[in-house]
Chain A
């Protein structure tokens, strides 16, 4: 989605303020075009989210037999529990009716009741959403400078030994599943070898995990290692493309030092593709947290999702899946808008 949008020729310049009376007709049409693009893009995101909700609901409610899965062997022997659960899941109503009720609940903030402990879903996941957001944001804040730094070093030594070494390491890391990296970190830092960092996140009595920063190091480090290779490789490719361009050649001929060329000319032009790949990876993090949180028992929505799936807690799974898919759609939307704002070419391109 992001890739296609980046080349969207209808992209327009945001005029910042509403067109003033003395503004030329052209400025006004530019603003309208920009607003039109934005409206279309937001509309697409909402359409996607709606289809996501259809998929989430029918995948969980229609494909399997949740009650049989919850009760397991007790299914045959206790018809009363079957009836209770059927009542709780409103199974007597038609599927479409149940979907509409659920969708309505999403809008009013009523996410249903957890099947495993009978508490409201919104109450159960409130804190966890914050915990996960903190984990993802901290990981992103560490990852972005690291990835751009590695890309700059690699591009600087293009074709030489340091570049080759970095590329092979990044390539090796890129394919390795995140739990492999995480477990190796645990083995290295919390057990036999160093024994300096806790292997699981300990958060006592409702406090956020950041009150115990040591326990956040390994989850963050794992996510950073899982994501950095992709970002660094793409940013390096972009940097090389820019470094080959005419204006960089001109800057060099003018005698501007290579370091300045790299920072001012190349890096600034790599920001837009950088935003796109960072956004894609942030969206990927929404999935990566499932495994990393479970591995480190981090109290976020990812570990909660694993537990809910295992307990066949359908209302929880539906709510958590919507949140994770929503993060993806939202991050992509923001990335597209930012890319347009940062690209003068796209901004000034004339509508139609």
Chain B
């Protein structure tokens, strides 16, 4: 047993974390579904298969235009997946930069940066997106990425600053400084790699919120591609028939629900794994 390498023991530890494994399986399932969905869909995205809100087409029936609900659920995952992942990446990178700079530079600069951060935090995430969309006729997909990413950044920054503050006072940073290494190198090569676990957990959490926000914007009717298949937008399109033929609404709602449960379990699993790893 002593010959086990660090990687395999890390993998074994990961597999023992049931929430992490369950979260990863659920997430992978939805991601694969979203990616291969358009190819396995029985009908086309815009194909009319029968009268609106009836049971023609495949087993989930038809939507408000008579398009096949199952096919549109299968086709509508890609946009939400891509936008959520990009928005999460943007928010993480932005937040990490702000947080690291604030923690490492410190002093009045840190104070000013964190006050501005508080201002951004005073906006519920959805509000920030709605504010800008109010002056836009038709949102583009990159606007949603930018807005959701920008609403994540201050929240990530606060966490990163907190974790980094605990690190910059540690010995290995002091010794790197004594060796005359440049500030950028110290932050990137000494501080950042020591924050992997909290950052990964935060990324999982942010991805969960991104999915919810992107879907919510579609649900509120701010679609980037009117008429196109998109989970959030589908809920909005078929809302009126929820009381009669619910699947046009329920199918995307359930997929979004499962997706967010998966990513959230994953984020929590990473946190637990990091805590246990820290103890041993």
State the interface size on chain A (CB cutoff 8 A).
Answer: 59
Say whether, besides A172-B261, A176-B257, A288 and B135 are in contact (CB < 8 Å). no
What 0/1 pattern do residues 293 to 322 of A give for CB contact below 8 A with B? 010000000000110111011100100010
- A63 lies within 8 A of B135 (CB): yes
Give Cα A191–Cα B264 distance, bound, in whole angstroms.
29
Which of the listed residues B135, B213, B265 has the most CB atoms from chain A within 10 Å of its own CB? Answer: B135
Give Cα A309–Cα B222 distance, bound, in whole angstroms.
9
8 Å CB interface, A274-299 against B = 283-284, 286-288, 290-291, 294
8 Å CB interface, B174-213 against A = 208, 211-213
A56 at the interface (CB under 8 A from B): yes
- A1 lies within 8 A of B118 (CB): yes
- B220 lies within 8 A of A175 (CB): no
Partner of B136, one of A56, A64, A176, A324: A64
Closest Cβ–Cβ distance, residue A267 to chain B (whole Å): 25
B130 at the interface (CB under 8 A from A): yes
- B265 lies within 8 A of A172 (CB): yes
Nearest residue, chain B, Cβ from A61 = B135
- A317 lies within 8 A of B134 (CB): yes
Partner of A186, one of B118, B136, B220, B242: B242
Say whether, besides A48-B118, A328-B122, A294 and B127 are in contact (CB < 8 Å). no
- B264 lies within 8 A of A55 (CB): no
- B246 lies within 8 A of A192 (CB): yes
- A312 lies within 8 A of B135 (CB): yes
A60 at the interface (CB under 8 A from B): yes
- A175 lies within 8 A of B126 (CB): no
- A180 lies within 8 A of B137 (CB): no
B256 at the interface (CB under 8 A from A): yes
- Given the complex, which residues of A lie within 8 Å of B121, measured CB to CB? 1, 328
Closest Cβ–Cβ distance, residue A308 to chain B (whole Å): 7
- A183 lies within 8 A of B242 (CB): yes
- B250 lies within 8 A of A187 (CB): yes
What 0/1 pattern do residues 143 to 181 of A give for CB contact below 8 A with B? 000000000000000000000000010011011111110
Say whether, besides A171-B268, A329-B122, A187 and B246 are in contact (CB < 8 Å). yes
Nearest residue, chain A, Cβ from B257 = A180
- B124 lies within 8 A of A284 (CB): yes
- B130 lies within 8 A of A309 (CB): yes
- Given the complex, which residues of B lie within 8 Å of A306, measured CB to CB? 130, 220-221
Closest Cβ–Cβ distance, residue A316 to chain B (whole Å): 9
Closest Cβ–Cβ distance, residue B206 to chain A (whole Å): 11
B115 at the interface (CB under 8 A from A): yes
B274 at the interface (CB under 8 A from A): no
- A317 lies within 8 A of B257 (CB): no
A47 at the interface (CB under 8 A from B): yes
B39 at the interface (CB under 8 A from A): no
Closest Cβ–Cβ distance, residue B268 to chain A (whole Å): 6
- B134 lies within 8 A of A308 (CB): yes
Give Cα A190–Cα B246 distance, bound, in whole angstroms.
12
Closest Cβ–Cβ distance, residue B269 to chain A (whole Å): 10
Give Cα A329–Cα B123 distance, bound, in whole angstroms.
9
- B115 lies within 8 A of A47 (CB): yes
- Given the complex, which residues of A lie within 8 Å of B268, measured CB to CB? 171
Closest Cβ–Cβ distance, residue B133 to chain A (whole Å): 6
Which of the listed residues A52, A172, A178 has the most CB atoms from chain B within 10 Å of its own CB? Answer: A172
Which of the listed residues A288, A312, A325, A328 has the most CB atoms from chain B within 10 Å of its own CB? Answer: A325
- Given the complex, which residues of B lie within 8 Å of A192, measured CB to CB? 246
Give Cα A288–Cα B220 distance, bound, in whole angstroms.
13
- A191 lies within 8 A of B243 (CB): yes
8 Å CB interface, A52-73 against B = 52, 55-56, 59-61, 63-66, 68-69, 72
Closest Cβ–Cβ distance, residue A294 to chain B (whole Å): 6
Say whether, besides A60-B131, A63-B135, A180 and B124 are in contact (CB < 8 Å). no
8 Å CB interface, B247-280 against A = 249-250, 253, 256-257, 260-261, 263-265, 267-268
Give Cα A69–Cα B132 distance, bound, in whole angstroms.
12
- List 19 contacting pairs A-B, 8 Å CB cutoff, sorted by A: A44-B115, A52-B122, A56-B131, A60-B131, A63-B135, A64-B134, A66-B135, A72-B137, A175-B263, A176-B261, A177-B213, A180-B253, A180-B260, A187-B249, A287-B125, A288-B124, A290-B220, A291-B219, A305-B130
Known interface pairs A175-B261, A192-B246, A287-B124; 19 further A-B residue pairs with C-beta atoms within 8 A, sorted by A's residue number: A47-B115, A51-B119, A52-B123, A60-B132, A60-B134, A63-B132, A64-B135, A171-B268, A175-B212, A177-B213, A177-B260, A180-B256, A187-B246, A187-B249, A191-B243, A283-B124, A287-B123, A287-B127, A290-B220
